[in-house]
Structure 1
Amino acid sequence: MRVAVITRYFPTSHEPWAGHSAYQTLRILAKECELKVFYPESRYPPLLTPASRAGRSIDFNHRVEGVDVEYLPYPALPAISRSLNGFSASRSILPSVRAWRPDIILNYIVYPDGDAALRVARALRIPFVVTAIGSDLNVIPDPVCGWLTRRVLRTADHTITVSGDLLKTARRLEAPLERSSAILNGCDTSIFHPDDRSAARSFLGLPPDAEAVVYVGRLDMAKGLGELIAAVAQLRERRPRLHAWIVGDGPARQQLAQAVVEHRVEDRISFVPSCSTDKVAAWMAASDLITLPSYREGCPNVVVEALASGRPVVATNVGGIPELMDDTSGRLIPARDAQALAGALDQVLSQSWQAEEIAGRHSRSWADVSRDVAEVLSRTFERSRSQK
């Protein structure tokens, strides 16, 4: 079976850590079948390039280890072409996909990528599986995109979501019950597993006696990082050894730095740039707990990786997070509540946790995810072939 993957949820030269869950799944799937990723990249006229995209052009010759990928440009206009981006992308990538002669199309991100994938699948008369990752269903920018999103979900031969909670959302948006299922994310258990905390702290240069709270992810206010800073400030006197390390990059970096100054916790919070997977594993090992106080999530990799590393997690009770953990592996709290976050951090830091016990309950690998995706692709392909 030849699988064409149409998505922007994948590493690029500019963002090598993007689309982590898709890449890890496809890297393994590519060992079992012929697979190629087609990445549609919007290109704006020089004078109309959004400020957020300035200086962020990707290398169209970029290569990714273990997965064949082709980066393809398509024309777009800021905001104006939003509802047409799926159509425009499909027109640009169709010749390349057709020349590769796939048997089935797999997609990540429902709109506009899924709309483009649906149009290509129709043109080639082959089945199409769409994967919703979270924000593509939880944050729909306008009614037209909402209509197009529902059309993709309604028309796809199968819809995959990364959590049971997101599956409910997909079905509310017209994904048929009998053609939709949830496949939770995994992690690389050869990298994320219980490891020596002292050795990890020595490697990273962290104080051996710190109460280390670690956040790993995008620097975005919707990740609840403002609440994390406020929570650290609330615990300043009660827990004098507490220190939070915020690992990652993103648009809120300056806003967060200002919040640190305003809360007078410059000596309690450190920012660390995005880093390799191996180094993320070291941060997990070095931590006393991992936190994700996000406002919304699908199936966050960081929680899966933290639990596989045997570290307790303090996270918000949103999206698929409650499907991953409970009080035996940390604490769930309401979103946008700095006081609740401070209380949960205090509780978890006061409790003794057994890393092997936490990891033993949470060891889903990317091989497990890839197997589940392969089963959906195989069933969908066979069903489509039997109907011809």
Structure 2
Amino acid sequence: MKILVVSNIYPSFKYPASGVFVYNLIQQFPKLGHEVTVISPENILSIGAKKVKSYGVENCTVYRPFSFSASNKQIGSFNTYRITELAQIKGIQRTVAKHNLEFDFVYAHFMMNGFIAVNALKKYKKPVFVAIGESDLPLLTKMYPKDYFEQSIRLISGFVAVSSKLRNQLIGYGVPESKIFLKPNAVDFTKFYQRDKAEMRKKYKLPMDLKLVAFVGRFMDHKGPLRVLEAVQNLDNVGALFMGKGPQEPTGPSVVFNESVPSYKIPELLSAADVFVLPTQREGSCNAIAEAIACGLPVVSSNIPEVMDQCNPSFSILVDPLDVKAIKSAIESILGDEVKSTEMSNNALEHSKNFEIGERASSILDFIKSMMEE
């Protein structure tokens, strides 16, 4: 089949870390024998961004029409994102027309891109399928007039939801359950696997004599990097690795690593750690957790539905994400018991086998094919 992918988050030479999880999935489609074209609108204001030599092997044809971003600000009943959306719609329409692109269906990643796709490509009368990975759809509805939201969602032929919470929210917006495929995020096992811990610590000049806690994600309050720091800073012989960036930057003697790193370094750094900790307040389906367990790490995270979909007690301890004492206690219970820690690590590796990205890509395309046949 000829697949047209629409996603405004997709790696580029300017932003190699943008939408890596989207890129990892989309790269599987050509491997399954399909012809894939990606349209990823690019903010014209990013012209001066520093470029890298490569963001990875590209198996798709990628077009990056320039667009304009008006941010996401509410002014009375109007949200400035609608200007951004219109600019991206025009950019997609120009790209399809200019290159005479042919496609059997559209795959859009995230609801915002789904709305852009259905409104940009109406005249082609091709089905549009949308991957829903947002942390919470009601937050999104505030950006659109009610009638526009309802009209656009009706134009979408099918949805891939990464969590039961998102599936239920779609049903609440009137989407028939038959149009929703529940499939959590998955991992590329050729990249994310357990490395030798001592070797990775030596490579990144990390202390050999400490137990290490790993955090991966935006340095934002809802992700909880400062809560992780507070939980570990009074633990003896424990250090913390922070991979990410954002306004809540963790600092102090407990921090042994703090950088925004390219995606290929993340599994190496995870393999250097002893436990993964993410006290997040909301998720879609957490890529960071899926990647951590593929590297054999026990998990301390949040007792929220979307994380509970991914984790079980054999390799995780889920707590109130705002309770620093509970986070600290969970970390101590794992790091203080070598037998328990090893058992949880083995269970994490075994559980991760259920989330292989090639199988996920194949299942998604099978769902799309069945919906098109209907």
Q: Shorter-chain TM-score category?
A: 0.7 to 0.9
In structure 1, runs of 5+ residues without a counterpart are: 45-52, 261-265, 384-388
- Once residues 89 and 51 of structure 2 are traced to their aligned partners in structure 1, the CA distance between those partners, rounded to angstroms, is 19
Structure with the bigger percentage of helix? 1
Q: Which amino acid aligns with 1:102?
A: F
Moved more, 22-31 or 357-366: 357-366
- Once residues 193 and 2 of structure 2 are traced to their aligned partners in structure 1, the CA distance between those partners, rounded to angstroms, is 34
Q: Does 1:81 align with 2:80?
A: yes
> Which residue among 344, 349, 356 is the counterpart of 2:346?
356
Q: What is the TM-score when the length of structure 1 is the normalising length? A: 0.84
8 A contact 1:9–1:19 mirrored in 2: yes
Correspondence for 1:386: none
8 A contact 1:86–1:114 mirrored in 2: no
Q: What is the TM-score when the length of structure 2 is the normalising length? A: 0.87
The Cα offsets for residues 247-271 of structure 1, whole Å up to 9 and x where unpaired, read as: 122x31xx434xx4xxxxx111134
- Once residues 382 and 126 of structure 1 are traced to their aligned partners in structure 2, the CA distance between those partners, rounded to angstroms, is 13
SS at match of 2:27: helix
Q: Cα–Cα, structure 1 residues 278 and 180, in superposed 2: closer, same or farther, change >3 Å?
A: same
Pairing 1:307-326 to 2, within 5 Å after superposition: 307-326=293-312
Q: Cα–Cα, structure 1 residues 147 and 368, in superposed 2: closer, same or farther, change >3 Å?
A: farther
Correspondence for 2:240: 244
> Which residue among 68, 72, 75 is the counterpart of 2:65?
72
User: 1:149 deviation in Å?
Assistant: 4.2
User: 1:143 deviation in Å?
Assistant: 5.4
User: 1:58 deviation in Å?
Assistant: 8.4
- Once residues 334 and 146 of structure 1 are traced to their aligned partners in structure 2, the CA distance between those partners, rounded to angstroms, is 34
- Once residues 371 and 276 of structure 2 are traced to their aligned partners in structure 1, the CA distance between those partners, rounded to angstroms, is 38
The Cα offsets for residues 96-137 of structure 1, whole Å up to 9 and x where unpaired, read as: 2242111101101212x2211011332211111011112462
Q: Does 1:375 align with 2:355?
A: no
User: 1:288 deviation in Å?
Assistant: 0.7
- Once residues 332 and 152 of structure 2 are traced to their aligned partners in structure 1, the CA distance between those partners, rounded to angstroms, is 45
- Once residues 106 and 70 of structure 1 are traced to their aligned partners in structure 2, the CA distance between those partners, rounded to angstroms, is 15
- Once residues 153 and 319 of structure 1 are traced to their aligned partners in structure 2, the CA distance between those partners, rounded to angstroms, is 24
The sequence identity of aligned pairs, in percent, is: 21
Q: Does 1:196 align with 2:196?
A: yes
Q: Which amino acid aligns with 2:58?
A: E
8 A contact 2:296–2:346 mirrored in 1: yes
Q: Which amino acid aligns with 2:276?
A: I
User: 1:63 deviation in Å?
Assistant: 8.8
8 A contact 1:243–1:268 mirrored in 2: yes
Correspondence for 1:97: 96
In structure 2, runs of 5+ residues without a counterpart are: 74-78
Q: Does 1:333 align with 2:326?
A: no
Q: Cα–Cα, structure 1 residues 146 and 219, in superposed 2: closer, same or farther, change >3 Å?
A: farther
Q: Which amino acid aligns with 1:333?
A: V
Q: Which amino acid aligns with 2:332?
A: D
Correspondence for 2:9: 9
User: 1:285 deviation in Å?
Assistant: 1.2
* Count of residue correspondences: 359
8 A contact 2:206–2:256 mirrored in 1: no
SS at match of 2:188: coil
Pairing 1:131-170 to 2, within 5 Å after superposition: 131-135=131-135, 137=137, 139-140=139-140, 142=142, 144=144, 148-170=148-170
SS at match of 1:336: coil
- Once residues 68 and 62 of structure 1 are traced to their aligned partners in structure 2, the CA distance between those partners, rounded to angstroms, is 14
Correspondence for 1:274: 260
User: 1:84 deviation in Å?
Assistant: 4.2
SS at match of 1:85: helix
- Once residues 379 and 179 of structure 1 are traced to their aligned partners in structure 2, the CA distance between those partners, rounded to angstroms, is 10
Pairing 1:102-117 to 2, within 5 Å after superposition: 102-111=103-112, 113-117=113-117
- Once residues 70 and 285 of structure 1 are traced to their aligned partners in structure 2, the CA distance between those partners, rounded to angstroms, is 35
Pairing 1:40-59 to 2, within 5 Å after superposition: 40-43=41-44, 56=49
Q: Which amino acid aligns with 1:248?
A: G
8 A contact 1:297–1:319 mirrored in 2: no
Correspondence for 2:35: 34
- Once residues 374 and 65 of structure 1 are traced to their aligned partners in structure 2, the CA distance between those partners, rounded to angstroms, is 20
Q: Which amino acid aligns with 1:321?
A: V
Moved more, 285-294 or 213-222: 213-222
